[in-house]
Structure 1
Amino acid sequence: MPENTETPQPAAPGAGRAAAADGKAVAPARRRMRLSLLTRWTALVATLLTVGILIALGLMRLLPDNPGMVLAICLLCVLPLSIITIRAQLQHMLSLFRALTGTVTAYRDGDFSFSLHWQQNDELSDLVTAHNALGDVLREQRLALVQRELLLDTMVQNTPVAMLLLREAQQVVFANIAARQLLNEGKRLEGHRLADILARSAPALGDALARGGDGLFTSGEGEEEEVFHLARRGFSLNGRKHELLLVRQLTSELRRQEVQTWKKVIRVISHELNNSLAPLTSLANSGAELVRRGQTERLPQILGTIEERTRHLESFILGYARFAKLPAPRLESQDWSHFMARLGQQVQFQLLGELPAEPCCFDAAQLEQALLNLLKNAHESGSAPDAVALDLRRVQGLVRIEVLDRGPGMSEAVLTNALVPFYSTKRSGTGLGLALAREIAEAHGGRIALANREGGGLAVTLILPLPPA
């Protein structure tokens, strides 16, 4: 009768233990010839039947006249032998099933360090091999997941951005190192309520949170003033609402940008001053020489040129001053028809469509200045005067104003930098027209966009959330 020579160690379901205690599959020293379970059990039953027949034949010779006694003796001999043999065979399988139950329980508990071994080369051996392969895959996936979680936690903990994760009750469930240093002197924040944290932190952070949305805020005064950016994002996690707060310190970056901006402004002003003062100096010397010689007939031309360059320099300086001292907009009720009529008296343009009937609240002087700059740029683009148009529409609570021309448009590089202050492609340009229009639009809570038109030309769009009067 075929028997197992090795029994797998049973794994207790509660303990999650399996056959191989070292966590590695034990390869058999040699593979036996494959015998299926059906073949083995058929051989076992045939063997037991043969034994029973032989016993019966032997007893028939001893007790030929008593068949009942022969049957009883055969049953007494064969039944216990069959039970013991079948139980021995099933005991190995039951041990394997208990071991499988234990490893599955270990997998459920997150322990993938165990594997099994079945010495017989049959269907159960294939099952054990597949089970061990599943354990190897789960172990590799778990290791990769742990490595990714460790990498993500390391990145989150060491990022300079302070991160706070809040539950519905505004209770902190996660805070990285930057958040602990910024808000709690490096101590843990998990479990604390946001209101308690804000009571101990700078009032500027509480004010920024109360305003809602993203934005900048400053903390401290004088030399200790710090600039921060607050970003808020809401999402659902495990069916519960959470909010992520990101606080980033921008002081050093803004100071570097401020220095770079000042350097650029100084270069631009220096360049413009030199371009104007050098001709003025030359013209003044020429005028003095002509006076010394008594040749005064060219003096009016020289003085006119000096006056023209002086006025250009004055307008240049005034443009910078106006950009730097733009006041907060004064919102007043304005009628669109009167506003457009006043604008049309200063610059030529074609009005497309119908104006909104209802008045809106905006700063008429600032919006007029922005549109004058845009319309002036449209005329200076090389577009035909009658192709310069203005389209004003009210869409879903927003006012959309488009200034259109049929000039050459802008390249991708110019579109990228056109709204940057002091950037200009014109020889005599200051680079402040579009920048001032952008500043006015953002002061009204809106934005400005530039795009090339199909068929040539440029479309400059002001999108303003103007409230009704």
Structure 2
Amino acid sequence: MARRRLPLWLAFTAAAFVYMLVAATLALALRHWLQLAPWLAIPSAALLPLPLLAYHVRRLLLPARALFRALSGSVAAYRDGDYSFGIAWDGSGELGDLVASHRALGDTLREQRLRLVQRELLLDTMVQNTPVAMVLVDAGGHVVLGNLAARRMLGDGRRLEGLSFEALLALGPAALREAIERGGDGMFTVGRDDDEDIYHLSRRLFRLNGRRHELVLLRQLTAELRRQEVQTWKKVIRVISHELNNSLAPIASLAHSGAELLRRGQLERLPAALATIEERARHLDGFLRDYARFAKMPAPRLETFDWPGFVARLHGQVGFVTEGSPEGHGRADVPQLEQCLLNLLKNAHESGSPAEDVRLALRRLPDAWRIDVLDRGGGMNEAVLSNALLPFYSTKRHGTGLGLALAREIAEAHGGRIALANREGGGLCVSIHLPA
């Protein structure tokens, strides 16, 4: 069984009683043996046993002092995140209750810390192994966290923590820098032709430990879009097959009927049959011409033109507000570029944006021209933003889904690129970069 300690109040009472007994005995002895006066014998008897009393009192208080030091040390350890500290105490009373409560607190903190470490390990494993590149940037513009995908994309596999995010962007793809500069979410393309990768950019601001941070997410959509393109082409084949059948079946039937009418000599009904055949043939020709225009777009014939005249011709066909004063000369296939921008400006008007908020901005970059078509419509959700550049993808009931896809085809045929981004405050920004 554990050794039981006397309560401190009982020990002090016993010590005081013994001290008084010893002092009284000494006072009698000093007075009797040394013939001292009472006024001198009593103080002398009171002082003589004090060192012995102090020694025993000190020994009596040693366990309590050690306990208080242990409690203070455990509190300091908890403050520093060390919950392995334990206290052994076999006493009872108030000190025993205090030690038991402290021990229960330590057990609870250890369990919570273990669960927290396990959750952090799981979260870190998920963050590090996700294919989405994740970069956490602090208020000073330095990287706090970069997962494995971000290291591969921005740092050639090296750790990014502590580096300047702006410096990393300077070494990264130009399309990524431009997407970051536009602000908000959006899509951009890295590479060309068969080596092309399409990314979706997301940016979120929040406060961590009272300080502003930004989380940048880069999700590669290339494989997903390739699958979507296959599904889209299957849909196109079904649509074309349906349209061909709807036109060719009545044409064949009317041709047979016309031959019968001709054989029977019923010529008065023949013009109506031939007119129907002509109408269906023209409809089919127009339908196929629209799709062939996208599928067989000729290579651009580059020519030098002046931007003020080009923008003035656009103003004559669709309404918009020009930001800035476009100056200088460009080099492009003027009809193709004109068709591209007309499609984008018409889309801006159809987005629900007020007409005065449909704008075209032209800027000269060091090695390129940047054309922005802006509106204040409803913008695009993430699903639409991810598919908007696919051929024949449309959210409009009677849309062909060729406007943005044709704009992308024209921009890339000129050696440029196109990017979409939602604007802060609502609306969409479609940016085209063309070589200068």
Give TM class, smaller chain.
0.5 to 0.7
Instruction: Name the counterpart of 1:275.
Output: 246
User: 1: CA distance between counterparts of 2:209 and 2:78?
Assistant: 23
User: How much has 1:95 moved relative to structure 2?
Assistant: 0.9
Instruction: Name the counterpart of 1:88.
Output: 59
Instruction: Name the counterpart of 1:310.
Output: 281
Give me the TM-score of the superposition, normalised by structure 2: 0.64
More helix by share: 2
State whether residues 349 and 358 of structure 2, in contact with CA within 8 Å, keep that contact through their aligned partners in structure 1: no
State whether residues 371 and 437 of structure 1, in contact with CA within 8 Å, keep that contact through their aligned partners in structure 2: no
Inter-CA distance 191–391: structure 2 relative to 1 (3 Å threshold)? closer
State whether residues 287 and 299 of structure 1, in contact with CA within 8 Å, keep that contact through their aligned partners in structure 2: yes
Instruction: Name the counterpart of 2:187.
Output: 216
User: 2: CA distance between counterparts of 1:113 and 1:89?
Assistant: 29
Identical positions, percent:
49
User: 1: CA distance between counterparts of 2:227 and 2:114?
Assistant: 43
Question: Deviations 1:391-420 (Å, cap 9, x if unpaired)?
Answer: 979799998899xxxxxxxxxxxxxxxxx9
Instruction: Name the counterpart of 1:432.
Output: 398
Q: Match of 2:278, SS? A: helix
Inter-CA distance 107–303: structure 2 relative to 1 (3 Å threshold)? same
User: How much has 1:274 moved relative to structure 2?
Assistant: 0.9
User: 1: CA distance between counterparts of 2:170 and 2:377?
Assistant: 45
User: How much has 1:192 moved relative to structure 2?
Assistant: 3.7
Aligned amino acid, residue 17 of structure 2: L
Question: Deviations 1:89-116 (Å, cap 9, x if unpaired)?
Answer: 2111111111112112222222110111
Inter-CA distance 42–393: structure 2 relative to 1 (3 Å threshold)? farther
User: 1: CA distance between counterparts of 2:98 and 2:404?
Assistant: 71
Give me the TM-score of the superposition, normalised by structure 1: 0.60
State whether residues 335 and 360 of structure 1, in contact with CA within 8 Å, keep that contact through their aligned partners in structure 2: no
Aligned amino acid, residue 101 of structure 2: A
State whether residues 393 and 400 of structure 1, in contact with CA within 8 Å, keep that contact through their aligned partners in structure 2: no
Inter-CA distance 205–368: structure 2 relative to 1 (3 Å threshold)? closer
Does structure 1 residue 108 correspond to structure 2 residue 79? yes
Aligned amino acid, residue 59 of structure 2: A
User: How much has 1:139 moved relative to structure 2?
Assistant: 1.4
Aligned counterpart in structure 1 of residue 146 of structure 2, from 175, 179, 183: 175
Question: Deviations 1:8-63 (Å, cap 9, x if unpaired)?
Answer: xxxxxxxxxxxxxxxxxxxxx55969x7x5xx414532553266348737975996
User: How much has 1:264 moved relative to structure 2?
Assistant: 0.6
Instruction: Name the counterpart of 2:98.
Output: 127
User: How much has 1:437 moved relative to structure 2?
Assistant: 9.4
Instruction: Name the counterpart of 2:17.
Output: 49
RMSD between aligned residues = 5.0
Instruction: Name the counterpart of 2:108.
Output: 137
Q: Match of 1:117, SS? A: coil
Q: Which moved more, 1:105-114 or 1:228-237?
A: 228-237
1:217-256 aligned within 5 A: 217-238=188-209, 241-256=212-227
User: How much has 1:86 moved relative to structure 2?
Assistant: 2.1
State whether residues 186 and 421 of structure 2, in contact with CA within 8 Å, keep that contact through their aligned partners in structure 1: no
Q: Match of 2:176, SS? A: helix
Q: Match of 1:244, SS? A: strand
State whether residues 22 and 49 of structure 2, in contact with CA within 8 Å, keep that contact through their aligned partners in structure 1: no
Instruction: Name the counterpart of 2:385.
Output: none
Aligned amino acid, residue 432 of structure 1: H
User: 2: CA distance between counterparts of 1:272 and 1:91?
Assistant: 99
How many residue pairs match? The answer is 361
Inter-CA distance 225–313: structure 2 relative to 1 (3 Å threshold)? same
Structure 1 spans left out of the alignment, 5+ residues = 1-28, 340-358, 375-389, 403-419, 425-429, 448-461
Instruction: Name the counterpart of 2:157.
Output: 186
State whether residues 162 and 246 of structure 1, in contact with CA within 8 Å, keep that contact through their aligned partners in structure 2: yes
Inter-CA distance 101–370: structure 2 relative to 1 (3 Å threshold)? closer
Aligned amino acid, residue 252 of structure 1: A
State whether residues 283 and 306 of structure 1, in contact with CA within 8 Å, keep that contact through their aligned partners in structure 2: yes
Does structure 1 residue 292 correspond to structure 2 residue 258? no
Inter-CA distance 199–372: structure 2 relative to 1 (3 Å threshold)? closer
State whether residues 218 and 227 of structure 1, in contact with CA within 8 Å, keep that contact through their aligned partners in structure 2: yes
Question: Deviations 1:125-173 (Å, cap 9, x if unpaired)?
Answer: 1111111112112212222222222122211111112223344554434
Instruction: Name the counterpart of 2:230.
Output: 259
User: 2: CA distance between counterparts of 1:227 and 1:135?
Assistant: 52
Question: Deviations 1:252-311 (Å, cap 9, x if unpaired)?
Answer: 111111111111111111112112211211221122123223333432332233234334
